[in-house]
Structure 1
Amino acid sequence: MKVLVAGATGKTGLRLVGELASRGHEPVALVRESSDTAALPEGTQQRNGDLTDLQDDVCAGCDAVVFAAGSGGDTGADMTDKVDRNGAKRLIDIAAKSGVKRFVMLSSIGTDDPPEDGELAHYFQAKHEADEHLKASGLDYAIVRPVALTEADGNRDIRFGEDVDPQGKAARGDVAFVLANAVESGEWLGRTATMESV
């Protein structure tokens, strides 16, 4: 499958691009002009696009889309809205009009019922709105909600659902593995799941 990856040059996105390529898929990295693409696997297709101003043809020819982007922990509420909420929703809408077969969302634990206050409340609310927009889009979808991320590769020993410890950790390598599974597997259709590395 040809898979558009938003956030392809990020810490999880880079791992996902490599994981998809290793499985024989054709990852397409969505990159801004300012993106550092040096770490992308050699030969990775690139498509110019900015989540704050996406073009209507950004999903053209793609079978699936993975939203693995984020505004980052150092940005304010305005950029969180532009990327994590509005950018995600716009990409979902474009995917739906472009005949994309599946949309996989990298979300976060805590977005199902976001808190009204606290340091991450605005982020959780933005992600919640994007998740709900995807559910209502008519697209075949999967939503992956990891606990706090680490830079580890992980060992693919992964726990899902009600048994997940909200205070646990999720290795980025394990998250990329799960996102790739969600692209491929029928078991993920319409599924929203929290996850942690064991």
Structure 2
Amino acid sequence: MNMNILVAGATGKTGLHLVQELVDQGHKPTALVRESSDTSALPQGVDLRKGDLTNLQDGVCDGMDAVIFAAGSGGSTGPEMTDKVDRDGAKRLIDLAADAGVKRFVMLSSVGADQSDPTGEMAHYLKAKHEADEHLKASGMTYFILRPVALNNDGRSVRVTLGDEVDISAQASRADVAHVLAEAAMSGSLDGMVHLMQSAGRSLQHV
């Protein structure tokens, strides 16, 4: 069954892999984009829906079967924008998805977001992600939360590891992350789960 899937963060490094994956699988991705977003790299077949995560309006999730949050404020922004996008924007999108009767919400989170009171230089970001994850769990929607380790651009890998066997000092490719997010949204095979993730083995492009 072809699905209507809203993607927040579609123009980002992971998001571009994600929307291409959804198009390749025959689904209908809709990119949630700001007025200022550069959409030139999005593949053909992707619809656009205007929406700013710092000020989401009612109706942005209407007509969607699933929503994937793959957005982020970016490493160069400060704590205020982290709160507006990674915490409050995510929570608002979750609420709007629930109101619209969306069947499934898939969250791109982060390793370390399981902690309610993290420490270290990433503490503020991880706390924001933790609060968004907890809000999703309490939303009543079917959900999947993915918490990858540090991201790279190595392309698809031979093997992806999910769960307790993940080495938190390892890395995960954005292409692999996008593949898992798409699979979670499309199939429901990961419903109700929260998984760490790493890429393992050689990149497919080198095999």
Post-superposition CA distance 1:95-131 (Å, at most 9, x none): 0000100000000010001554321000000000000
- 1:19 is the counterpart of 2:21: yes
- 1:107 is the counterpart of 2:109: yes
When normalised by structure 1's length, the TM-score is 0.98
Corresponding residue number in structure 1 for 2:55: 53
Letter in structure 1 aligned against 2:41: A
Letter in structure 2 aligned against 1:138: G
Partners of 2:72 and 2:53 lie apart in 1 by 10
1:5-44 → structure 2 map (5 Å cutoff): 5-44=7-46
1:108-147 → structure 2 map (5 Å cutoff): 108-114=110-116, 116-147=118-149
Partners of 2:118 and 2:98 lie apart in 1 by 31
Contact 1:114 1:121 in 2 (8 A): no
Q: How many residues align?
A: 198
Percent of residue pairs identical: 63
Question: Could you say what secondary structure the match of 2:189 adopts?
Answer: helix
1:58-77 → structure 2 map (5 Å cutoff): 58-77=60-79
* Change in CA separation of 1:84 and 1:156 when aligned onto 2, cut-off 3 Å: farther
Question: Could you say what secondary structure the match of 2:14 adopts?
Answer: helix
Contact 1:4 1:62 in 2 (8 A): yes
Structure 1: state its 5+ residue gaps. none
Contact 1:156 1:177 in 2 (8 A): no
Post-superposition CA distance 1:34-76 (Å, at most 9, x none): 1010000023100000000001100011110000000000100
Q: Deviation at 1:156?
A: 4.6
When normalised by structure 2's length, the TM-score is 0.93
Partners of 1:61 and 1:150 lie apart in 2 by 33
Structure 2: state its 5+ residue gaps. 201-207
Partners of 1:193 and 1:80 lie apart in 2 by 22
Partners of 1:76 and 1:171 lie apart in 2 by 25
